[in-house]
Structure 1
Amino acid sequence: MRYSMLTIKSLRNDKFTGALITALFLSMFSLSVFADSALKPLEPEKSHKTAVHDMVEQLNSRHYVKLSLNDALSERLLSAFLDDLDPNRLFLLQSDITEFQKYSTQLDDELKKSDLSAGFFIFNRYRERMIARLQNTLDTLPDNIKAMDFSVNEDIELDRDKAAWPANKAEADEIWRKQIKNRVLGLRLADKDDKGIIELLTKRFKNQIKRMKQLEAEDAFQIYANAFASLYDPHTDYFSPRISENFQINMSLKLEGIGAVLQMEDDYTKVVRLVAAGPADKQGQLQPADRIIGVAQGKKGEMQDVIGWRLDDVVDLIRGAAGSFVRLEVIPAIAKSDETRREIIIERNEVKLEDQSAKGEMIEIIDSDGETHKIGVIDVPTFYLDFEAYRMGDTEFRSTTRDVHRIMGELLSEGAEGIVIDLRDNGGGSLAEANGMVGLFIESGPTVQIRQSNARVLREGKRRSSPYYTGPLAVLINRMSASASEIFAGAIQDYQRGLVIGTQSFGKGTVQSVNALSHGQLKLTESKFYRISGDSTQNRGVIPDIAFPPLYNLEDIGESVLDNALHWDRIPQANHRYYFDLKSGIDTLQRKHDKRIAKDPDFQFLQEQISVVEKMRAKTHLSLNIDLRKKERDAQKVQQLAMENRRRVAKGEEPLEALEEQNTDDIAMNDEESELKAETEKEEDKDKEKAPDPLLTEASHILVDALPYFQPERLARRP
């Protein structure tokens, strides 16, 4: 799985899955597709050969990682390409893998000669086998559904990416049978009858066949080129001319219209993150790791099933004019099973700079002695800079550093005793602004080290001494805090200038550049970030001083889960001072935090939720017995209701009689219910904004506890 924090990737636009079948196996499939004159083998174009030649040259000369184009890399490329085509090993037989092994030591030699023959041969064979499998499924679908027995005690393996390839035809047929049965069962549990299920699956498979037949040589080259690029690191990508054009629209708003960053994972379009202050972020229902399975235009348009679609085709459906509406059908990230669906209505709009700008608020905290303290909170959704206004010489240009400086002055004048910088879900942005914002809290000194591919290390930071805020400071981060956010949080932690609170950050510590090819573009990693301590932010991210329960699963989201992610390492530290001796207080602050959250209903509820989700993720198989699945679903609802009511009672609220009384992601709604819910939530937005954020409140409590450690006499010694 691969994606970029700042862009929507076209990698794995389709899972061009299929099977390399023996002649005997083929005779048992519908062979009508092979007689279709429109289905001709795809062949590499001259532009693809020159593009791959340019790729090889640039990767060899400019990429941070130096790989040798040899037999070992050839084997890795073959494996990566096959995994991209059939990630869950649903179609290929072991005999297919054996046949393709003849290319295991040839691909490097072919790349050196700009020869794409092997890649296109494999791609064409997959394309044929995939269409054959889908056509056979269509031909037998009604009879197969009619014959399905959901009272039988059997199960399906949830994740087959590490499973063995099917040994023979019978084993492959059995795997596919269970896949179809699971889809039918999920739709039945979503209250669809067999007629509706047949119509939906027939439409879905016909669409997939149609799209497979419409594939062009550019599609084959893009998949193969990206399999090659991915061997260097997960942020190195080939952009086809179409993707290049999209990339230029806006790096951080790739999905113009709703403000979301997507990737393909298996046959699903998965949400990577939401653009701060974008339409989806403001609407509040779409969440990272949600899977989009349907898209409809307007509030009443027909829902189009997009499972198995190309990523750029899904992008085209979601895009639209500002002020128009799009409806998304999603499987929520927290769903207990794939049959849980919900519809989300989002009004498309542009993301304006002022929407993403920093905002401040004051929180009042009562300490253990009953004394009230004021803590200023500054929410920084992204590191932004109005480049156009800056270039034009506008003295009032907007930037993160300028806005934070102004807001902090306002909060301090209102009596704030400390400042919390909230970087949760901040995916990065301008490196210059991250450095500039660090300068608001230190006298002078380096903020980040950048190691280039030639091993040269550059240091950036605050070069001249100037006035700065000297008081108590905390930085709040989570798993979606990335890149520039990690540079800021890491510098504040390394200087012992403030406390870092929250969960382990994303771990994106690399820098990319986009370079022209003779055909398309190549985005490649050319340097690596290091903290002033010498530690890399890559892969590991920033580890908080005081940890909160992780809202995002660290095994699903983050640099460390990406294939071929660069490793964590160290370089010599930069000379820097320590402002306070905060490390000496961590144990005391941790004990006070643990004692406080042990009695906090919201934290207890969060920890219970995380525990339930972790147990669900630990399951490797899913039952195909409908009664057992219903029993499991009902038990989950009972458990969820009990947890919710424990929280409500502890907070002095009335308990619920049924889970449906609350706004839950686990309820499948029809169009009218979804629209009414969206309109109601829109009206309640102002009230929601006023509701206390338990994580932010607890971060403020920790800063109040830490006030004594920010006194001048608690200065740390130099290392």
Structure 2
Amino acid sequence: MTNRQVRLFRRGAAAGGRARAAQALWLAVVVLGGWLCGPAAALTAEPAQPRPFDAVLGKLIVQLITTQHYAKRAFDDDVSSMFFDEYFDSLDRERRFFLAADIEEFAARRTQLDNELPQGDLGFAFDVYARFMQRVRERVEYARTALAQPFDFTVDEEMVLDRSEAPWCRDKAELDEEWRKLLKNRVLVFTLMNEQGAAEAAQKPSAATPASPEGEAAPEAAPPAADTGEAAAPAAGATTTPAAPAEKASPFANLPPAERVLRSQERFLRMLEENESLDVLEIFLSSLARVYDPHSTYMAPSTEEDFDINMKLSLEGIGAVLSTEEGYVKIVEIIAGGPADRDGRLHAGDRIVAVAQENDEPVDAIDMPLRKVVRMIRGAKGSRVFLSIIESGKALSSVPTTIELVRDEVILPEQAAKSEVRVVPLPARNGAPATGTPAQPEPTAEVMVIDLPSFYSDFEGRRDGDEDYRSASRDVRKLLEPAAAAGVDGVILDLRNDPGGSLEEAVRMAGLFFAKGPVVQVRSTGAKREVYPDPDPGLAYAGPLVVLTNRLSASASEIVAGAIQDYRRGVIIGDKATHGKGTVQTVLDLGRFFKRSPVFDEEPTGSLKLTIAKFYRVSGLSTQREGVNPDIVFPSYTDHMEIGEATLKHALPGDRIEPLAFECAVDVTPFLPPLRKLSEERLAANPDYRALTDSIARYAAMKDRKTLSLNLEKRRAQQVEEEKWLEEIRKQTFDAGDGAVAEEEAAPAGKDDKGNKGDGKQDDLVLDESLRVMADLIWMQQGDLLAKPAPPPQEPAAAPSAEAVVTPAPADAK
């Protein structure tokens, strides 16, 4: 692989949207019992036999995985056994279709796949899938019978939320009982939705945007959820604009609950029956790739098309980046300026459980392949789509709400870096606070807050010689240089929720804040090490610097935060750790292997996304699994979520390599102890902070629930309690702030016309406290540009060894 092939892809949580955490993420757990009705990964077609081309493609992918993957791991009996389990899990993660007898029947081939697949034998893949389709049809028949009779919701019984670790059901009688509870819960959920919708409709009959019969999403969401895998294609950008008075009622409330549940099962079966052989192959081969690591996957042509949208500049739809996680389609990111962003009701971490077109019945999205959900959401500009969602902060018995969005064109450059300038009061000197009078004005400082949604780059524009091509580092430089010239007192670089992007942009971004030196090391297969230095000897900003991170800051974000920390250049503030993705992927176009084939040259092939390298900090530390630990830790809901690389099955281990020689031109280390002490004292006296910590403790207890009541009255009471709790979270997370900071002005690309950043972060506690930390840092550093440098906190490192090749960042690295 050449440098120009290396792509560091945005996290969104697992390979192609299909890698999964070791346990269900808290978001999935919230609604698992209420919605799960099918396999928890992308499901596909059931041909009688694989095509000849499928066998050739399978052999090629096995060869590429075993020879090009970073792990250089042989396809042996151990891998075959894990591959066996992964394939069954991909089809039936919640163990609600296959029986124990099915697994036992195929068990003789558990350690034979490493012999069969390299020879092009796909019999196992299609035999298992045929059995799966048989079991799905049986479950639909059972649903028809069970839903014909009313359920008794006065019975005090419970169902297990997460069955992913449960044993396979021994016989159909045991499976029928699981399905009886599952169907009962789904009918209960729709009953609660109808009740909630009717109540809201009665309370808001004259609202400009009428509440749907299933309820209206709250204006603010709870804390964003983790993105534990690769971000998949942005769902076409549906712009959400205030609905016209004459808009029609949502189609979600047109069916009785039992009938809707039955129709969802029937639609699910029809969807599976429409699939093709290449879809079965995609599940099967992706299951093998994921055994090597969670970010490697085979993408069939349609999946590849969706994936490619991530790097394009425009699309049409709702303006959201989606991924799949444990069978749920999850919002990874709301595209700034898009329809969903303008509407404000959809947030990162929300799960889409159903989609309806105007005048059509809703279609359940649970366990549906991501590309099919994306295509349902996409549509012509000006058309409407109804999304039934579970909000990210809602707990176990949450009732889905319906959002109506108007599709529009989404201009992806609106995701570009944005800035705003905040005025913060400085600490009083010598114990004598300023009076704030004209004679003794209160000392203040101007702090620029830069929000960076991703490490984007217009690679095509650069290759074509466009002098104005867009990139994250170029845009941030344009924000920094005039601010520095105008004498801005401090800069906060907000990398929270930034899933990463271009490796080159990460290198250039870090270089904006120090003059020279290595930024990151990349080690590929064969232990060859490449060092990526700052390509620009100048720097855009030399003053006080704070970097904000959270558990959703991944890949390129971790490179920048790690470099700033290693160079002692700034203060890192955030969750206990960043995401922990320290691997590099490349996408191989499989079509090029068949260009000269007289038989298969026109066959659609798709692509193979493969992990080919790890990156390391200049200190030699790896961010893989561990992430970047901040200098000042802020409590977070993510402390109790199954989020991050370490939660993913088959994630590569972290390690460390020899550090590089580098010089620290400045040093914030002496300021860290007093900065921590001042922050702790402030937060201890802050009632909003105390309320937040109490709420986090309540969440930790709530998320550990393993069962869900099927008693209607208990669920009603639980719903009321959880709605109150969710509202507390919203206030504590997004409405906090005591006016200690004031917004003064913004760069042209900064805020919208309401003065909001549109990402739910403007008035949150972390940003407010970070501004106060910045004020302390400015006050401590007054009199000097920055602290004088000290020796780097590492063992002396020799110059790069023979295997460490110092190279400029690749022009088209992603």
TM (normalized to structure 1)?
Answer: 0.85
Query: SS of the counterpart of 1:378?
Result: strand
The alpha-carbon distance between structure 1 residues 117 and 393, as it changes in their structure 2 partners (threshold 3 A), is closer
Alignment of 1:12-411 (within 5 A): 17=39, 42-143=48-149, 146=150, 148-191=151-194, 196-251=256-311, 257-297=317-357, 302-352=361-411, 354-369=413-428, 370=433, 371-411=443-483
Code of the residue aligned with 1:597 in structure 2: it is L
The CA distance in 1 between the partners of 2:444 and 2:582, in whole Å, is: 40
The CA distance in 2 between the partners of 1:695 and 1:648, in whole Å, is: 10
The RMSD of aligned alpha carbons is 3.3
372-381 or 481-490, which moves further after superposition? 372-381
Unaligned runs of 5+ in 1: 19-38, 654-681
Contact 1:601 1:647 in 2 (8 A): no
378-387 or 534-543, which moves further after superposition? 378-387
Which residue in the other structure is 1:695 paired with?
Answer: 766
In the TM superposition, what whole-angstrom CA distance separates every residue of 1:344-384 from its partner, at most 9, and x where no partner exists?
33343444354122222211112342532221222222223
In the TM superposition, what whole-angstrom CA distance separates every residue of 1:16-59 from its partner, at most 9, and x where no partner exists?
659xxxxxxxxxxxxxxxxxxxx986311111101111111111
Contact 2:679 2:773 in 1 (8 A): yes
The alpha-carbon distance between structure 1 residues 8 and 345, as it changes in their structure 2 partners (threshold 3 A), is farther
The alpha-carbon distance between structure 1 residues 141 and 117, as it changes in their structure 2 partners (threshold 3 A), is same
Which residue in the other structure is 1:635 paired with?
Answer: 721
Query: Once the 2 structures are TM-superposed, how far is the Cα of residue 402 of structure 1 from its aligned partner?
Result: 2.8
Unaligned runs of 5+ in 2: 1-8, 21-35, 196-252, 434-442, 595-604, 740-750, 795-814
The alpha-carbon distance between structure 1 residues 639 and 248, as it changes in their structure 2 partners (threshold 3 A), is closer
The CA distance in 1 between the partners of 2:37 and 2:132, in whole Å, is: 10
Query: Once the 2 structures are TM-superposed, how far is the Cα of residue 171 of structure 1 from its aligned partner?
Result: 2.3
Contact 2:567 2:667 in 1 (8 A): no
Code of the residue aligned with 1:547 in structure 2: it is V
The CA distance in 2 between the partners of 1:391 and 1:254, in whole Å, is: 19
The CA distance in 1 between the partners of 2:554 and 2:509, in whole Å, is: 16
Which residue in the other structure is 2:586 paired with?
Answer: 513
Query: Once the 2 structures are TM-superposed, how far is the Cα of residue 182 of structure 1 from its aligned partner?
Result: 1.4
Code of the residue aligned with 1:208 in structure 2: it is F
Code of the residue aligned with 2:610 in structure 1: it is L
The alpha-carbon distance between structure 1 residues 637 and 325, as it changes in their structure 2 partners (threshold 3 A), is closer
Residue 5 of structure 1 is aligned with which of 1, 12, 27?
A: 12
Which residue in the other structure is 1:465 paired with?
Answer: 537
Which residue in the other structure is 2:522 paired with?
Answer: 450
Which residue in the other structure is 1:669 paired with?
Answer: none
The CA distance in 2 between the partners of 1:496 and 1:40, in whole Å, is: 57
The CA distance in 2 between the partners of 1:12 and 1:545, in whole Å, is: 30
Contact 2:16 2:295 in 1 (8 A): no
Q: Is residue 486 of structure 1 aligned with residue 558 of structure 2?
A: yes
Which residue in the other structure is 1:576 paired with?
Answer: 662
Query: Once the 2 structures are TM-superposed, how far is the Cα of residue 544 of structure 1 from its aligned partner?
Result: 1.2
Contact 1:446 1:463 in 2 (8 A): no
Code of the residue aligned with 1:174 in structure 2: it is E
The CA distance in 2 between the partners of 1:129 and 1:609, in whole Å, is: 43
Contact 1:605 1:644 in 2 (8 A): no
Q: Is residue 620 of structure 1 aligned with residue 620 of structure 2?
A: no
Query: Once the 2 structures are TM-superposed, how far is the Cα of residue 339 of structure 1 from its aligned partner?
Result: 4.1
Which residue in the other structure is 2:30 paired with?
Answer: none
The CA distance in 1 between the partners of 2:447 and 2:623, in whole Å, is: 29
The CA distance in 1 between the partners of 2:408 and 2:260, in whole Å, is: 31
642-651 or 125-134, which moves further after superposition? 642-651
The alpha-carbon distance between structure 1 residues 497 and 6, as it changes in their structure 2 partners (threshold 3 A), is same
In the TM superposition, what whole-angstrom CA distance separates every residue of 1:500-557 from its partner, at most 9, and x where no partner exists?
1112222222111111325322111111111111111222222111122325466343
The alpha-carbon distance between structure 1 residues 398 and 119, as it changes in their structure 2 partners (threshold 3 A), is closer
401-410 or 234-243, which moves further after superposition? 401-410
Which residue in the other structure is 2:684 paired with?
Answer: 598
Q: Is residue 717 of structure 1 aligned with residue 791 of structure 2?
A: yes
Contact 1:15 1:86 in 2 (8 A): no
Query: SS of the counterpart of 2:484?
Result: helix
The CA distance in 2 between the partners of 1:628 and 1:61, in whole Å, is: 56
The alpha-carbon distance between structure 1 residues 633 and 646, as it changes in their structure 2 partners (threshold 3 A), is same
Aligned length: 666
Which residue in the other structure is 1:419 paired with?
Answer: 491
Contact 1:476 1:501 in 2 (8 A): yes
In the TM superposition, what whole-angstrom CA distance separates every residue of 1:62-94 from its partner, at most 9, and x where no partner exists?
110122111111111111111111111223332
The alpha-carbon distance between structure 1 residues 258 and 535, as it changes in their structure 2 partners (threshold 3 A), is farther
Contact 1:270 1:289 in 2 (8 A): yes
Contact 2:522 2:614 in 1 (8 A): yes
Contact 1:363 1:697 in 2 (8 A): no
In the TM superposition, what whole-angstrom CA distance separates every residue of 1:97-145 from its partner, at most 9, and x where no partner exists?
22221111111110121111112111111111111111221133112xx
The CA distance in 2 between the partners of 1:691 and 1:333, in whole Å, is: 19
The CA distance in 1 between the partners of 2:627 and 2:348, in whole Å, is: 18
The CA distance in 1 between the partners of 2:540 and 2:313, in whole Å, is: 33
Query: SS of the counterpart of 1:523?
Result: strand
Code of the residue aligned with 2:363 in structure 1: it is Q
The CA distance in 2 between the partners of 1:360 and 1:440, in whole Å, is: 16
Contact 1:545 1:586 in 2 (8 A): yes
Residue 775 of structure 2 is aligned with which of 666, 681, 704?
A: 704
The CA distance in 2 between the partners of 1:687 and 1:43, in whole Å, is: 56
The CA distance in 1 between the partners of 2:58 and 2:534, in whole Å, is: 42
Query: SS of the counterpart of 2:333?
Result: strand
Query: SS of the counterpart of 2:613?
Result: strand
Query: SS of the counterpart of 1:344?
Result: strand
The CA distance in 1 between the partners of 2:773 and 2:489, in whole Å, is: 13
TM (normalized to structure 2)?
Answer: 0.75
Query: Once the 2 structures are TM-superposed, how far is the Cα of residue 437 of structure 1 from its aligned partner?
Result: 1.9
Q: Is residue 589 of structure 1 aligned with residue 675 of structure 2?
A: yes
Query: Once the 2 structures are TM-superposed, how far is the Cα of residue 642 of structure 1 from its aligned partner?
Result: 7.2
Query: SS of the counterpart of 1:373?
Result: strand
Query: SS of the counterpart of 1:258?
Result: strand
The CA distance in 2 between the partners of 1:563 and 1:652, in whole Å, is: 43
The CA distance in 2 between the partners of 1:211 and 1:464, in whole Å, is: 53
The CA distance in 2 between the partners of 1:696 and 1:553, in whole Å, is: 18
